[in-house]
């Protein structure tokens, strides 16, 4: 399949502020596109969509970002830039699993796990990190199988470490897992502690498709046991939000002559039909 995966943050009208902020915090930030509704940036090659509509959804730690640093100095430098107006969830320091590690919620509520491991063989600079807790605690192994059944396992890369009897969590729970979905690397963990958050729309995963067959496959596959929403959104059986979108939509939204009509199609859609977007582009070409 020729689909692309990336992550979306609900910016709540603050997309321009977030772009400026992350350009200050991180090296190698590139602005890919910027409209009043959606902006796209890359941080060290990792694509983030910033959805600028105002909503009640708040970003929380259920989906964070593991940032693999190349040195202890890089960890400290980024940490210090993130600290103002932030909330520290785990202090920066040496841990059994890393020379330097810290978990911080930045000024916009986005969660970052900064880590430096000297012999790190991780295959991504920035990785989405899913926390299965509360009603999802104990379901991570099933979730990885569920996702890889839908996305395919041609490039499956699974590393799973579990809690033992002397560890500070439920024995057998997954302490750390690495897996990928069509060359999109992710990490995940389970936690049996008491938390006041679950997966929500604040952070979602985007599947960008080239064909209607791909849209239908991921729409019906990922929503199995979950729920369907508007504008190409769905929730899977674990409550993670996904956007199943046609690649042509992003191209059309950058065309000022077509953006308004395309937006109207989006607002009146559940599952997207590529033919509707192709039709308005053909009308312009006449």
pLDDT tens digit string along 149-168?
A: 999 876 566 788 899 888 88
What is the average pLDDT across 188-202? Answer: 94
DSSP the chain: ---EEEEEEE-TT-HHHHHHHHHHHSSSEEEEEE-SSEEEEEETTEEEEEE----S----TTEEEEEE-SSHHHHHHHHHHH-TT-EEEEEEEEETTEEEEEEEE-TTS-EEEEEE-TT---S-SEEEEEEEEGGGTT-HHHHHHHHHHHH-STT---EEEE--TTSSS-TTSEEEEEEEETTEEEEEEEE-S--S----TTEEEEEEESSHHHHHHHHHHHTTTSEE-STTEEE-TTS-EEEEEEHHHHHHHT-HHHHHHHHHHHHT-SS--HHHHHHHHHHHH-
Provide the pLDDT for residue 133. 96
Residue 6 scores a pLDDT above 90: yes
> Is 87 in the same domain as 187?
yes
What is the average pLDDT across 219-248? Answer: 98
- For residue 77, give the CATH number of its domain: 3.30.720.110
Provide the pLDDT for residue 156. 63
Provide the pLDDT for residue 139. 96
> Is 175 in the same domain as 225?
no
What is the average pLDDT across 136-142? Answer: 95
Domain boundary among 182, 197, 212: 197
What is the average pLDDT across 68-77? Answer: 96
Task: Give the tens place of pLDDT for each residue, 19-54.
Answer: 999 999 999 999 999 988 899 999 999 999 999 988
> Is 214 in the same domain as 275?
yes
Mean pLDDT of the chain: 93
Q: 212 is in which domain, residue-wise?
A: 1-58+200-286
> Is 81 in the same domain as 160?
yes
> Is 74 in the same domain as 191?
yes
pTM above 0.85, yes or no: yes
Provide the pLDDT for residue 41. 98
Residue 95 scores a pLDDT above 90: yes
> Is 161 in the same domain as 238?
no
> Is 11 in the same domain as 54?
yes
Split at pLDDT 50, 70, 90, the class of 240 is very high
> Is 52 in the same domain as 65?
no
Give the range among 15-24, 51-60, 234-243 with minimum mean pLDDT: 51-60
> Is 117 in the same domain as 138?
yes
- For residue 270, give the CATH number of its domain: 3.10.180.10
> Is 134 in the same domain as 193?
yes
How many independent structural domains does the chain possess?
Answer: 2
Provide the pLDDT for residue 155. 58
> Is 82 in the same domain as 27?
no
> Is 66 in the same domain as 190?
yes
Domain boundary among 146, 169, 197: 197
Contact indicator for 242, 234 with CB cutoff of 8 Å: yes
Residue 8 scores a pLDDT above 90: yes
Task: Give the tens place of pLDDT for each residue, 212-233.
Answer: 999 999 999 999 999 999 999 9
Domain boundary among 152, 167, 197: 197
């Amino acid at each position: 399949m020729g689909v692309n995966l990336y992550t979306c943050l609900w910016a709540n009208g603050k997309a321009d502020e977030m772009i400026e902020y992350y350009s200050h915090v991180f090296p190698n930030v590139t602005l890919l596109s910027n409209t009043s509704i959606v902006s796209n940036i890359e941080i060290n090659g990792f694509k983030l969509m910033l959805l600028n509509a105002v909503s009640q959804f708040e970003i929380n730690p259920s989906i964070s970002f593991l940032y693999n640093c190349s040195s202890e100095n890089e960890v400290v430098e980024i940490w210090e830039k993130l600290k103002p107006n932030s909330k520290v969830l785990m202090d920066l320091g040496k841990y059994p699993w890393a020379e330097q590690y810290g978990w911080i919620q930045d000024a916009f509520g986005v969660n970052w796990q900064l880590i430096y491991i000297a012999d790190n063989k991780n295959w991504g600079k920035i990785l989405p990190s899913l926390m299965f807790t509360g009603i999802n605690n104990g379901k991570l192994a099933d979730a990885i199988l569920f996702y890889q059944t839908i996305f395919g396992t041609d490039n499956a890369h699974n590393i799973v470490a579990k809690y033992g009897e002397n560890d500070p969590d439920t024995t057998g729970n997954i302490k750390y897992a690495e897996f990928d979905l069509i060359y999109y690397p992710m990490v995940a963990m389970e936690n049996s502690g008491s938390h006041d958050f679950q997966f929500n729309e604040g952070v979602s995963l985007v599947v960008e498709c080239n064909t209607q067959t791909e849209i239908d496959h991921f729409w019906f596959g990922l929503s199995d046991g979950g729920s369907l929403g508007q504008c190409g959104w769905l929730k899977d059986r674990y409550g993670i939000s996904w956007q199943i979108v046609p690649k042509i939509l992003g191209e059309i939204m950058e065309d000022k002559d077509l953006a308004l009509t395309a937006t109207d199609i989006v607002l009146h859609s559940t599952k997207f039909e590529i033919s509707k977007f192709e039709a308005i582009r053909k009308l312009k070409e006449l």
